[in-house]
Amino acid sequence: MKSDIKDAFKEIYEKESDSIFRFCLSRISDREQALDITQETFTRLWQSLKEGKEILNYRAYIFTVTRRLIIDWYRKKKSISFRDMESGDDDIPYDPADSQTFSRLIDGAEGRYLMTMMRELPGGEKDPVYLRLVLDLSPGEIGEILGISTNAASVRINRGLSELMKKAGYKKDE
Amino acid sequence: MKNIKLENGIKELKGMVMTHEEKKRIFQNVMDSSSVKIQKPIRSPWMLFLFTNSIFEKRLAYFVIPLIIILTSAGVVFASEGSLPDGLLYPIKVKIVEPIKGAILSSPEAKARYESNLATKRLTEAENLSDKGKLNLSNERKINQLLDNHTEALNKALNDLKKEESREQLDEIMTNFYAQMNAHSRVIEILEEKNDKIDDKINGNQLSNKARMNAENIKSNYKNKEENKESESGDNKNEEKKLEKYNAKRQIVEDLINKTSLNVNKIDKKEFKSEQNIFEDTNETLKKAKDYLEQADIKDKKGDQDEAYNNLIDSEGSIKEAEIFLKTRLKYQESQNEKNH
């Protein structure tokens, strides 16, 4: 029984750990901290599985936990006001890394440019667009993570994507 | 939206990964975390003189605490029954009374029904608050959290029920839960719209979204698992049994549709004017139930018994939703009349 849980956990870890790490790193621009949060996320998943807790959608579960841990990290380290966090805006902040750190994090000019443009998207659209484009999450999963309906998640993805294309100066079929 | 620059940018962003060593180290750390034991605090020597300590030490707590609760709080318990999330007695109801009642239920079926009813109760509490214009963010969060707890407990009970191979009871509880969550979510939205509280109609109401999502999760969880199980064991011997089960369920669903259609036709549309939204939703769900029944018949004719049965379950869920809309209409019509007088 225990080895079943371990195998299941290992499979999830292999499949999702890079996505979780990427999600953390894009938000806090600090590799060691991103690794810490990734570890904490999977520790919580492992504990829950061991305690026999039923997880209906493990992908939504780990991304939700990661999101909360990032918010906690900002509360402790970055003095982001409680009001900003609870403003109803679904976005969590991005750490404004300096250009050197930023270059170290993303290995490619096109990626850095895209990330900068995504950070400039209006509140409520950054997370859905990032989760869809870079982490390949479905609108249903994004809705579950952000606590909105699938329909609302789809609307935000499409709206955000159009805005991103416009901001970045990308054209369709180019 | 195809664009080479965008695709290259995404590809580069996806290149942000852990090194092999980092990945291995974190996995090992997570595995090792299980061996960390929580240290018990050092006992104070003064604990020996405490009355409460002696109760816990001698395991008298199992008898003393329930006795104290029974003797001192019978009145409070009774009073807490009708409390709402903004009330002082509400925590007693949801954290003490209801869990105790749930703990004495032994069968998974009873537990599942109990948790499903509690989830519905939470939504009707939200409706009552909304009707009074008191459904604020804090109350919504409380109810959201409780909804998650009830859904988790329901999921566990349904899992146990599935092990007992009680498919019919499982289907009934699942469709009831699905119908209740969807119908009451919509009612909350309608009431909140009346209060002009849903500014962003695309996002809807968080509580309603949560209830719908939980209903979808429960439905997909059990429907899929049952499908897999049936297809694994699908041989000729089962076909007759499946057909029998299908016909019995079809009769129930058809009767429900006829009964609800009759009730809808009896309604005076002028009287329904003030609840136009509920009327539209009732008709829409009724139509959906009929559509699913038609699809079930088509699949039955094609010999796809499993899919046909699933369509029947969907039809049953929709028709139950329509019934709930009708009952809710009566409730809020009465409340409106009282307000007018």
Contact B34 A39 (CB under 8 A): no
Q: Which residue has the higher pLDDT, A54 or B143?
A: B143
Q: Would you call B82 helix, strand, or coil by DSSP?
A: coil
CA nearest to A152 within chain B: B203
**Using the beta-carbon criterion (under 8 Å), do A108 and B204 form an inter-chain contact?**
no
Calculate mean pLDDT across residues A38-50.
91
Q: Does B209 touch chain A (CB under 8 A)?
A: yes
pLDDT band, residue A87 (cuts 50/70/90): very low
Q: What is the pLDDT of residue A88?
A: 42
Q: How confident is the model at residue A102 (pLDDT cuts 50, 70, 90)?
A: low
- Is the CB of B71 inside 8 Å of chain A's CB atoms? no
Q: How far is CA A57 from the centre of its chain?
A: 16
Q: What is the dihedral of CA B288, B320, B165, B309, to 10 degrees?
A: -20
Residue ranges for chain B with pLDDT beneath 70: 1-2, 34-64, 68-74, 76-77, 79, 195-204, 224-238, 268-276, 330-341
Cα–Cα distance for residue pair A110/B6, rounded to 1 Å: 8
Which chain A residue's Cα is nearest to B208?
A149
Chain B positions in Cβ-Cβ contact with residue A57 (cut-off 8 Å)? 217
Of B190, B143, B121, nearest to B336 by C-alpha is: B190
* Residue B127 near residue B188, CB atoms below 8 Å: yes
Task: Name the residue facing B203 among A144, A152, A165 (closest C-beta).
Answer: A152
Q: Tell me, what's the pLDDT at B48?
A: 58
Closest Cα in chain A, distance from residue B301 (Å): 33
**Cβ contact A152:A143 at 8 Å:** yes
Q: Which of B3, B6, B35, B212 has the most A C-beta neighbours within 10 Å, making it the best mutation to test the interface with A?
A: B6
Tell me the pLDDT band of A40, cut-offs 50, 70 and 90.
Answer: very high
Q: What percent of chain A has pLDDT over 90?
A: 13
Q: Give the B window 120-159 contacts with A, CB below 8 Å.
A: 152, 155-156, 159
- Model confidence band, residue A84 (pLDDT cutoffs 50, 70, 90): very low
Q: Do B31 and A143 touch (CB under 8 A)?
A: no
Q: In angstroms, what CA-CA distances link A82 with A47, A65, A153, B144, B240?
A: 29, 19, 25, 21, 62
CB < 8 Å to A116, chain B: none
pLDDT of residue A35: 92
Is the ipTM value over 0.95, yes or no?
no
B13 touches chain A (CB under 8 A): yes
CA distances from A144 to A57, B115, B143, B253 (A): 9, 22, 17, 31
Residues 6+ apart with CB under 8 A from B231: B306
More confident residue, A71 or A81: A71
Instruction: Tell me if A18 and B17 make a contact (CB, 8 A cut-off).
Output: yes
- The pLDDT assigned to A2 comes to 59
Is B175 within 8 Å of B320 (Cβ atoms)? yes
Query: Of A28 and B176, which is predicted with more confidence?
Result: B176
Distance of alpha carbon B173 from alpha carbon B53, whole angstroms: 44
Residue-averaged pLDDT of chain A: 80
Taking alpha carbons only, the member of B170, B177, B308, B172 closest to residue B252 is B172
Chosen for mutation from B10, B21, B26 (greatest number of chain A CBs closer than 10 Å) is: B26
- pLDDT tens digits, A126-160: 888 888 888 888 888 888 888 888 888 888 999 98
Residue with tokens 């297809």: B231
In angstroms, the CA B26 to CA B327 distance is: 55
For residue B226, the model assigns a pLDDT of 46
B167-194 vs B276-302: helix crossing angle, rounded to 10? 150
Q: Are B283 and B319 in contact (CB under 8 A)?
A: no
